[in-house]
Amino acid sequence: MSSATDDSMELEAFRQRRQLELQQQLEQQAKQQAAAEIESHSQAQEQQALDQAMKTILTSDARSRLTNISLVDTDKANLLKRQLVTLHEQQKISIPVNDEQLKRILTSLSKSRRDASIRRI
C-alpha cells in the first residue's frame, strides 16, 4: 500500500512540476507577443511619421513616383524617405522637392551600387 501512496505522491509532484513548466511557457510567450506588438506599433508610428513628412517635403508628382517605387521595392522607398527627411533636417534640399529633384536624389542613392567595380587577380 505504501507503494501506491508513493506512486500517487510522485504523480502529484510530476503534475505540479508540469503545470509550473506550462505556466512559465505561457508567460514567456505572452512576453514575446507583447514585445512583438510594441515593435510593430513603433514601426507603424515611424512609417506614419515618414508618410506625413513626405506630404510636406514632396510635390504630388514626386509622391506619385515614390509610391511607384514602394510598390516595386519597399526597402528602397523607405531608405529614400529617410534620406529625404535627413536632407530636409540638414536644410540641404529646398521644399517642396519636385519629381526631377527626386530623380536626382534617387540616382545619387543608387550610384554607389553602380560604381562598384570587380577586379580580377
To which H or E segment does residue 108 belong?
helix 99-114
CATH topology of domain 2-112: Helicase, Ruva Protein; domain 3 (1.10.8)
- Residue 112's pLDDT band, with cuts at 50, 70 and 90, is low
Contact 54, 46 (CB under 8 A): no
pTM for the whole structure? 0.64
Which grid cell sits at 93? 534640399
In the chain, where the domains are located: 2-112
The Cα 82–Cα 54 span in angstroms is 10
Sequence-separated (6 or more) residues with CB below 8 Å from residue 96: 56, 57, 58, 59, 62
Write out pLDDT tens, residues 38-66: 999 999 999 899 889 899 999 999 999 99
